[in-house]
């Protein structure tokens, strides 16, 4: 979340002032912005899982480790009646790390 503030914030005498919240990057891996997520939530009134599938937020290299909490909070702010039975986003890292060297090897 700090990354997003650095991109969209201007330092003033009164502290940090957000210039354009819609350009705030929430998912760094897939470059999904706050504005894209908010418009998708408003248009489809979707759950966190559906938001992930519609925008690809949380589906990048990190598997949602950096943006999952913020996406969950955005859904809770719009729809506070989210039931505990709904599936929350989960971390889905790769099964195992793959090095560039092993990818480039030919048999």
Chain Cα centroid distance, residue 18: 18
Residue 27 pLDDT class (50, 70, 90 cuts): very high
Range 40-62 average pLDDT: 89
Range 63-87 average pLDDT: 76
- Count of domains in the chain? 1
Neighbour-count burial of 63, counting CB atoms closer than 10 A to its CB (0-12 exposed, 13-18 middle, 19+ buried): middle
Q: Quote the CA–CA distance of 54 and 18 in Å, as a whole number.
A: 26
Mean of the per-residue pLDDT values of the chain: 75
* Domain that residue 37 falls in: 2-104
* Least reliable range by pLDDT among 15-19, 58-62, 67-71: 15-19
The answer for 101, left when phi > 0, alpha when psi is -120 to 50, beta otherwise, is alpha
Residue 6 has pLDDT above 50, yes or no: no
**Predicted pLDDT at 1:** 44
**What predicted TM-score, i.e. pTM, was given to this entire model?**
0.65
CATH number at residue 95: 1.10.10.1100
């Amino acid at each position: 979340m700090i990354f997003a503030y650095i991109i969209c914030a201007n330092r003033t005498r009164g502290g940090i002032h957000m210039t354009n919240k819609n350009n705030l990057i929430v998912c760094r891996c897939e470059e999904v912005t706050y504005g894209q997520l908010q418009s998708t939530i408003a248009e489809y009134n979707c759950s966190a899982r559906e938001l992930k599938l519609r925008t690809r937020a949380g589906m990048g290299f990190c598997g949602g480790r950096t943006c999952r909490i913020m996406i969950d909070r955005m859904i809770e702010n719009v729809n506070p009646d989210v039931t505990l039975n709904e599936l929350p986003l989960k971390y889905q890292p790769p099964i195992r790390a793959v090095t560039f060297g092993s990818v480039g090897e030919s048999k």
